[in-house]
Structures are given as structure tokens and as C-alpha cells.
Structure 1
Amino acid sequence: MKITFYISLLLAGLHAVSHGHLPPNHHNGHDPNEPKHHMHHAGEAIACLKLVPNNADFAFQFFKEIILEVPNKNAFFSPVSISTAFAMLALGARSTTQTQILEGLSFNLTEIQEKEIQEGFHNLIHMLNHPESKVQLNMVNAIFLTDKLKPLKKFLDDAKALYQLEAFTTDFNNPREAEKQINDYVERKTHGKITNLVKDMDPQTVMLLGSFVFFKGNWEKSFKPEHTEEREFFVDAETTVKVPMMHQTGRFDFYFDEDLSCTVVRLHYNGSATAFLVLPAKGKMKQLEQTLVKETIQEWSDHLFKRLLSLYFPRFSISGSYEITNMLSKMGIVDVFTDQADLSGITGTPDLKVSKVVHKASLDVDERGTEAAAATAAEIMTMSLPPVIEFNRPFLMLIFDRDTNSTLFIGKIVNPAITS
């Protein structure tokens, strides 16, 4: 029988807040799918950008799988966290197991070699961990190993060099002590955002591989707390809840997609992150879910224009925990979870398989903080009332990093009053 181990994928708290001085809007014309022209690391950017179409395809394919698993519920995940962890696992995979992992991540191995993929992820991690501006974004990869399991020096050296992997010896025979070591590490790396990540660990565990992402961004145009008020949110035909609804009037990037019957509003964070807020017309969410692909986002980006809007957007916190082994199997990553697994690149012998893949995610969106008086810009308003866009029914929220063209997070918010 193969020895099993866990892969733990964690998105630690996307936290959108607004406070301090607001810089001028320097993002006009930048799309999530369009690199900044003044990137400092041209070589890194080129290697990283090779992954962009594949990572985007994986993001939207996985989105379709996750909403099948949790229909009519909040869903939130980090595709870049999942693909990074499995690309790292592919370093130690061989033969069909490696092919399935890379093809399951949407790579066509006749067009891109494994070495290019690994180099691309290396540069992606480096660029995400060194943002140019005021966004706080950290990606950490860690491996916890029993002292009886001796990984190959080449695997550890490559993983450390490519993925900035941190390695720790852990006594899994003492599950309580192992859980404390791992949970303390995660809590520290996620600024206290995630606690008690692992629990009820199997004493048979010999290895835990983790990928942890922490993101905190400030709205470029803040919402004033005094403008937030309780308003109704229509979950479905039978359910209405009261939520704190943030509000601001101003000029926003806007587009109405007639084909998909949805309203798109783009908000910027200070720094390199951008959020697309997507509000389908009543009864049109399913159509949007089933047809959403990377080309859709590009089309929205190409057609956005500045429009004066009265925008209502809920303040909310949601979190979720997913066991995603089944979803990945449906996407073609099969052998690594069975006795057919070949992870001999990790230990030198094919005696490992993955028993479980957990992805945890949380999202906080608020208007916290006060806007400095000096930063208040007077909007020139027309005398006619601007159209009201109110996110008062289920919507999507997609967050991109423009420097790396990465899909950082995808969320479907069905009921902002539910936290998990």
C-alpha cells in the first residue's frame, strides 16, 4: 500500500480596505490581461507571461467545477494557489502522473516544456512576492516531513530554488504536536488571519505540502463609512436578507454585456490589483457561470468606459473550505491520488500518493478607515441623477494582478450575510 500525504492549499484572507491618501488614478488603460510597460524584470515577465493563458484556462475550468460542488452557495478560491502547489508537486512526479498534473493545469505539453512551466512559476512567485507598489501580497510554499522520509536532495534543492520552499521536520506520530507546529507556522505567515488550518490529522501522514497566499489591498477610491446603510439583498426568489451596503457616487469603469446580460464594474486597488464586479440580470447567473472564459474578461476589458454611477456594493466577509480531490480528478489529475501514483522524484521510490487536497479561502470586503481630507477629490457632477448600480443579488467578484496577468481570486457571492 502506498504512503499517503496531504496537500493543503490556503488562501489567507483577501482583505479589501481603504484608508490613507489616495494616489492619482494611474491605471487607466491597464487590463488584467495586459502587462505594465515599465516592468523592471523583463526576463522574468516573459517567462511568467508564457503561463498566463494556461493559468487563466485552469482558473475558469476550476470555477465551473467548484460551483457544481457547491451550487447556490458562496464560493471563493485562489486558482494561482492551486496551480502553484501542483506545479511544485509535478517537480517530484514522473511519467503519466506528471503528464496528468501538467495537462490538468491546462498546459499543452506539445507547446510548452515542463522546464519552461517550472521557470514560469518561479518567476510568477518572485514577482507576486515583490509587488512594485502599495498592495500587500505574499505567497509562501512549505513542506512538512517526517524524519523517516528522506526526500531526494535534487527535489528539495529544485523546490527551494524555484518555489522558495521552506522545509520542516515534523513528528506526525504525535498528531497534536504536528498540528500545533503547522498551525502556528500558518498563523504567523498569514498575519493571524488563518488559525487551526489542520486538525484531526491521520497519524499515517508522512508529508504535508502547503501553498499559502496572503493579500491585502486598499481601494483606490474609498467608500465612506458614513454612507454605508442596511439594505435588502435578494438571495433568491424566496430569500431576502439585510446587509450593510456601501455607497459612493463617481466615475467608474463600466460595461454592460448584452450577450451575457450582465453589468461589469471595475474597481482598482492601490497598487497592481484590480477587481471586476459582475452583476448578472435576474435569472442569468447560470448562463454566466457556464460560459465564463478568459476571452470574456478580455472582451470586458476592451469595452469598459468611464461612466458616472451611483454604486451600491455590500460589505461582507465569507470563507470556505473545500476538499478538491474530486474536482481535480474530473479535470484529468487522477493517478496521483491512487496506487498508480509515481512521485518517485520526491523520495527516489514510487511509494507516495496524495490522500487529500484541501483549499481554504476567506474574503473580507469593507470600507474601513477614513479618507484624509487632503485626499478628497471633488467630482464634477452633472445635474441629472446618475444611474444606480446596486449589487443586491448574487454576483461574481474576480481579482487580478496586472503586473503578472494572474487571476488571483474568483468568488461567487450568493448570500453576503453568510460567512462560510
Structure 2
Amino acid sequence: MISAGAKCQTQREILEGLCFNTSSNAESNVRRGHKLLLQMLTQANADHVLSIVNALFAEKNTTFLETFLKALKDYQAEAILTDFHKPAEAKNQINSYVEKKTKGMVKHLLDSVDPQTDAVALNTFYFKGKWKDAFDKRRTHNADFHVDNKTVVRVPMMTRDGIYRMANIREVGCTLVAVPYVGHFSAFFIIPNPGRLQDVLEALKNDSIRQWFEEMKPIRIILSIPKLQMSSTFDLKKELTALGIKLVFSDKADLSGITGFKNLKLSKAVHKALVRMDEGGTEAAASSAGENTPTSLPPQAVVADRPFMFYIKDNQDDVDLFVGILIKP
């Protein structure tokens, strides 16, 4: 979004840091690609809720170029003026904007605002889907979740007997299970064996999960996963700086494509993600009717009762919407 108004080395740092090419048409190509992606992801659907909010808040005396405002539409984004010299009012304005845009799902995005702020870029992401085969609420029960060798907490554990695609990755020490949503989304749970969490995290750095997906096969299991709601807020300034995106946050920033002048820098970039996982309604008889399997072999029990990773993927477009790790519910 900011690259649409960045120029020269400031724009190159953004594109290179995010691994896009830096050809003469790079920014416009990136923008077209994101426009199509956002249109596909956010189209109205009764099966799930996917809310993506992008916005740029700038000091009240800022005058935006029409070309920049037009470019923001490709990111389904808005540019909004606020008075950062009144930090409490600015914070409330930004938080109220996000809460309204997400229909109350994402609240309190910012805890505070620095009165010296020039501009704040924000992104929020909320997803709630319906399981293709819902968990029966009557089977949800309190169970132990082992945070570590010394810490145990009680969690509501959802349980279901059914056929799921899964794989046991013995060389790393983890189990991978795919739980489909209605439509073309799936949640992939990566459950490390006791003591193997760091081994799994190291393997994921090498993108090993792509190979693991290929090893998955349908099998009848008794799956137990915690009912949960997770939210995480990230100050992207630290993360982006580590990727080499530095100028945009400095007094040397060239964001003249936003205002026409080199008098603006990005003070803060904030990302918040919210995921909810629950039973998804009462399991209907029809949900399990198509899962008849030979009963000579007892189903394997797969229990996410210790820290685990999860991916939520759009299978149709091969997009990872969320990548998360649950350490302590």
C-alpha cells in the first residue's frame, strides 16, 4: 500500500524487502496482483467471514495526491486525516474506524499514539469459517493442555471421529492434520511430539511443509483440538526493518507519491490478526453418513494438547491466510 506512494530507493527497499522484482513496472504489477487477490478473498460468501482492512492515517494537514488515492482503491484501502497532536483522540479515531470496519470483531488496535507521528499504516485480518464437518458441542469437554513440562492449563477440547487427511512426519516428530472448512479453505494443524517443538520450527524455516502436504492421506482418526480465540498485534516497523525496509521510517523517506512533497515518513505500521475456532454448530447426521469405514482397525487418536502450529489456507488460490502458533490457550 505504501509502495504506491513511495519513490526511488524508498520504493525499491519495499519491493526488494517483500521479494518482488524491481522492474520499471514493478509497483503497478504488484498493485494489480493484490487487487485481484483481494477481490477473490473478500467476495461475499455465506460459508465464512474474511475481513481485511487496510488504511493510512496521516497528520491532518496532509494533502493527498489524487493518483495515490486512486492507487489505494486497488488495496481496498483508505487515506484518512487525523490530529496526532491530540494523541488520545487520534487513538480513539483509529480504533473506532477499525472496530466499525470489522463489525466489532477487531477492537483496541492501538494502545497509544505518539504526538510526533506523521503517518500510521494499518492492516487487520479476521477469519471465521464453518467446518465442513462440524464438531458436536456435546462432546466438547475440559481437558489438560501441556504448555511445557511444568505448566498445565485446562481448555475446552473439541472432539470428533471422522476421516481427515493426515501424515505422521517421523523424521521431524510431528503429526499433520487437515480440517476442511465449507468452501475452499482448510486448517492444517501441525502437532509436534513431546519435546520436538523446536525441531518442527526449524524444519518449517526450510519450507518443509510443502513436502509434508504431499504425504497426507485420508484416514479415520479421533481428533481433539482446543476451542480457541487468538489475536496477535505486531509492530511491523521492527519486522520490516529486519527485511531491509528502513528508509520509509526515516527522515530520508521519499513518499512524494503520496503528497507531492518529501515531507512525510511512515511512523508506525501495525498488523492485527484474529482467528476464532469453535465447534461450528451441532454435527448433523448427514455429516458423518458419508464417512463409513471398515471398523476392524480402531481409529488413531490425535490430540492437540500441547503447543502446536496451524495454517489456514485458501486451497483454491494456494494462499496462506494465517500462520500461527498456539503456546498457551
Q: What TM-score results when the alignment is normalised by the length of structure 1?
A: 0.72
Q: CA offsets, 1:155-202, max 9 Å, x none?
A: 112222x21222333333333333333222211111211222234322
Q: What residue is the counterpart of 1:207 in the other structure?
A: 119
Q: What residue is the counterpart of 2:40 in the other structure?
A: 127
Counterpart of 2:11 (choices 98, 103, 112) is: 98
SS in structure 2 at match of 1:144 = strand
Q: What residue is the counterpart of 1:71 in the other structure?
A: none
Structure 2 residues without counterparts, runs of 5 or longer: none
Q: What residue is the counterpart of 1:339 in the other structure?
A: 251
Q: What residue is the counterpart of 1:57 in the other structure?
A: none
Q: CA offsets, 1:300-328, max 9 Å, x none?
A: 22221110111111112233333232222
Q: CA offsets, 1:36-86, max 9 Å, x none?
A: xxxxxxxxxxxxxxxxxxxxxxxxxxxxxxxxxxxxxxxxxxxxxxxxxxx
Q: CA offsets, 1:390-409, max 9 Å, x none?
A: 11111101111123322111
| Match runs of 1:281-292 below 5 Å | 281-292=193-204
The one-letter amino acid paired with 1:270 is V
Select between 369-378 and 228-237 the one with higher mean Cα deviation: 369-378
* Contact 1:149–1:206 (8 Å) recurs in 2: no
* 2:150 matches 1:150: no
* 2:197 matches 1:275: no
Q: CA offsets, 1:229-283, max 9 Å, x none?
A: 1222221122222222111111110111233221100011112211110012222
Kindly state the Cα deviation for residue 153 of structure 1 after the two structures are TM-superposed.
1.8
Q: CA offsets, 1:342-366, max 9 Å, x none?
A: 2121112222222222222333221
| Match runs of 1:147-226 below 5 Å | 147-160=60-73, 162-226=74-138
* Contact 1:309–1:387 (8 Å) recurs in 2: yes
- Counterpart Cα distance in 2 of 1:132 and 1:362: 19
Q: What residue is the counterpart of 2:229 in the other structure?
A: 317
- Counterpart Cα distance in 2 of 1:244 and 1:168: 41
Change (3 A) 1:328 1:147: closer
The one-letter amino acid paired with 1:205 is T
The one-letter amino acid paired with 2:170 is E
* 2:285 matches 1:387: no
| Match runs of 1:231-310 below 5 Å | 231-293=143-205, 295-310=207-222
- Counterpart Cα distance in 1 of 2:286 and 2:23: 56
The one-letter amino acid paired with 2:186 is T
The one-letter amino acid paired with 2:7 is R
Identity %: 38
SS in structure 2 at match of 1:91 = helix
Select between 107-116 and 147-156 the one with higher mean Cα deviation: 107-116
Structure 1 residues without counterparts, runs of 5 or longer: 1-87
Q: What residue is the counterpart of 1:361 in the other structure?
A: 273
SS in structure 1 at match of 2:210 = helix
SS in structure 1 at match of 2:113 = coil
* 2:88 matches 1:140: no
Kindly state the Cα deviation for residue 149 of structure 1 after the two structures are TM-superposed.
0.7
Change (3 A) 1:127 1:379: closer
- Counterpart Cα distance in 2 of 1:294 and 1:134: 33
Q: What residue is the counterpart of 1:51 in the other structure?
A: none
Kindly state the Cα deviation for residue 376 of structure 1 after the two structures are TM-superposed.
5.2
Kindly state the Cα deviation for residue 132 of structure 1 after the two structures are TM-superposed.
6.2
* Contact 1:132–1:271 (8 Å) recurs in 2: no
- Counterpart Cα distance in 1 of 2:71 and 2:83: 24
- Counterpart Cα distance in 1 of 2:257 and 2:172: 46
Select between 287-296 and 343-352 the one with higher mean Cα deviation: 287-296
* Contact 1:131–1:272 (8 Å) recurs in 2: no
- Counterpart Cα distance in 2 of 1:324 and 1:164: 20
* Contact 2:177–2:188 (8 Å) recurs in 1: yes
SS in structure 2 at match of 1:404 = coil
Change (3 A) 1:368 1:321: same
Change (3 A) 1:275 1:112: farther
Q: CA RMSD in A?
A: 2.3
* Contact 1:152–1:345 (8 Å) recurs in 2: yes
Q: CA offsets, 1:93-136, max 9 Å, x none?
A: 11221111111112243698332222111111111111666222
* Contact 2:119–2:268 (8 Å) recurs in 1: no
Q: CA offsets, 1:360-383, max 9 Å, x none?
A: 233322114223455552642413
- Counterpart Cα distance in 2 of 1:294 and 1:405: 18
- Counterpart Cα distance in 2 of 1:362 and 1:137: 10
